[in-house]
Amino acid sequence: MTDIKMPKMDGIAATRQLVQEMPGIRVIALSMFDEEGLIVEMLEAGAKGYLLKNADKQEILEAIENVFEDHTYYCKSTSAKLAGMIARSKFNPYRQKEVVTFTEREQEIIKLICQQLTAQQIGDRIFLSKRTVEGYRTRILEKMNVRNTAGVVMYALKHNLVREEDIV
């Protein structure tokens, strides 16, 4: 169980970190706040349950048992808010993450970016203008949800778009 508002690191950041370091962990958010934004952030961080601090002992035990059995648990107030958000399409706990696909040209440019070629060098090699290559690079960064070349390289390695030995 974690509180949302804590000194040093808030419960949302703590949950993100815990879930990343221990993927099988099950976290229940305990908060005095019943705001939609906080609920969504906490659940998207990986919390499996959400309770308000005024929950009685029985509800806390029920939440722990449900989450321990790998189910979710939301207090009545949170359940009502989630239902409203789903109805308004603000939050869908069953939403699948979009699968990112790259065209053959984008894959070619990703490999060349990973070889530390500049936009001009890539353009010269595959017969495109520097500006066109920069446009592809921008779309690649957006699709990968990264900010720079290091992010492209890490993403490409993690998703098997390049092999370690292909990087110069």
pLDDT 10s digits, 6-24 = 888 888 999 999 999 998 8
Q: Which of 95, 48, 92 is nearest to 74 (CA)?
A: 48
pLDDT value of position 146: 86
Q: Which domains does the chain have, with CATH numbers?
A: 2-87 (3.40.50.2300), 104-166 (1.10.10.10)
* Rama region for 70: left / alpha / beta (φ>0; ψ in -120 to 50; rest): left
DSSP structure string for 38-80: HHHHHHHHT-SEEEETT--HHHHHHHHHHHHTT--EE-HHHHH
Helices assigned H by DSSP within 75-148: 76-87, 104-114, 119-126, 130-144
Instruction: Write down the pTM of the prediction.
Output: 0.50
Neighbour tally for 44: CB within 10 Å: 14
- CB-based contact 155:161 (threshold 8 Å): yes
Q: Which of 143, 142, 118 is nearest to 131 (CA)?
A: 118
Could you give the CA distance from residue 78 to residue 117 in angstroms, rounded to a whole number? 50
Q: pLDDT digits over 31-53, tens only?
A: 887 777 788 888 888 899 888 88
* Residues with pLDDT less than 70, the chain: 83-98, 168
Q: What percent of the chain has pLDDT over 90?
A: 38
Strand partners, 52: 31
